[in-house]
């Protein structure tokens, strides 16, 4: 029997941005751990593909195409999930992202998109799931941030501001609703070996990946499964006394950048 078996048995997990990368890795891992996974992605084809993969491995999943930047859509989606699956135990807010743009070159449209996708969407999702979790008397909210929300990253000033706001939002939820059975935590990935990052690293300078990798103390980029396993720990009862925490999963790059003190 897998060591994962039963860690999330009987749980319903909602994962946004679950069609690829960290979200997909988390959906597959959570399902392997026994959760029924609501796969939320903007693209219906991605949702169906992940659900098919989960079911082919013997897991349970529900396809939930949704634009998380639209509050009515996320409200309707969470309502649908509750109606079909009976409860929502875990919300993993993974949808997000941005391409680096120098601050002076960011127009209003870029800024609004970054804020809607990386901060407002999480606000909408938490606002939609909170009444469900409060009614249950339990719930677990995990949000994926970024190292850019901790330290300066060139070209990601607005993105970093959104992710820093996400951390404070999460801490507030953890404190305000901890007494009602709800936990909330944040994971801050470092530079990840995902399709989008690979495309960015391949631009302009063929040595860019090697230079960035050399800055990471453990000597490699992160894998989506690195974040998925951290999320699984926070989603499980093994972390029942952990709430309001920002957890960097970044190969020690945050420790390196933080420096003395």
Sign of CA dihedral 185, 237, 16, 66: negative
Marked catalytic residue, from 111, 124, 152, 159: 159
- What pTM was estimated for this model as a whole? 0.94
Active site residue 111: no
For 87-113, b where at least 16 C-beta lie within 10 A, e where not — what string? bbbbbbbbbbbbeebeeeebeeeebee
Q: What span, in angstroms and rounded, lies between the C-alpha atoms of 8 and 4? A: 8
Q: Reduced to 3 states, what is the DSSP secondary structure of residue 18? A: coil
Give CA–CA dist 142/14, Å, rounded. Answer: 10
pLDDT tens digits for range 142-178: 999 999 899 888 889 999 999 999 999 999 999 999 9
Cβ atoms 7, 232 nearer than 8 A: yes
Q: Tell me: the pLDDT tens digits for 172-202?
A: 999 999 999 999 999 999 988 888 778 777 7
């Amino acid at each position: 029997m897998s060591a994962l078996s039963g860690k999330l048995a009987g749980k319903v997990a909602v994962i946004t941005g679950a069609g690829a990368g960290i979200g997909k890795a988390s959906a597959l891992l959570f399902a392997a751990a026994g959760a029924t996974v609501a796969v939320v992605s903007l693209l219906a084809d991605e949702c169906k593909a992940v659900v098919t993969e989960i079911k082919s491995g013997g897991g349970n999943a529900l396809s939930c195409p949704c634009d998380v930047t639209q509050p009515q859509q996320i409200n309707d989606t969470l309502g649908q999930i509750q109606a079909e699956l009976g409860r929502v135990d875990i919300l993993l807010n993974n949808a997000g992202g941005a391409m680096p743009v120098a601050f002076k070159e960011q127009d209003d449209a870029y800024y609004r998109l970054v804020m809607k996708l990386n901060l407002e969407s999480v606000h909408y999702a938490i606002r939609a799931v909170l009444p469900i979790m409060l009614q249950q008397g339990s719930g677990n909210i995990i949000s994926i941030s970024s190292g850019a929300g901790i330290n300066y990253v060139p070209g990601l000033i607005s993105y970093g501001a959104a992710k820093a706001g996400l951390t404070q939002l999460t801490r507030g939820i953890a404190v305000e609703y901890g007494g009602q059975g709800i936990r909330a935590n944040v994971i801050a990935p470092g530079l990840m070996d995902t399709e989008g990052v690979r495309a960015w690293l391949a631009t302009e300078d063929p040595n860019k990946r090697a230079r960035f990798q050399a800055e990471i103390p453990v000597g490699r980029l992160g894998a989506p499964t690195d974040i998925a396993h951290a999320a699984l720990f926070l989603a499980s009862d093994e972390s029942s006394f952990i709430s309001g925490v920002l957890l960097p999963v970044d190969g020690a790059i945050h420790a390196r950048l933080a420096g003395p003190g």
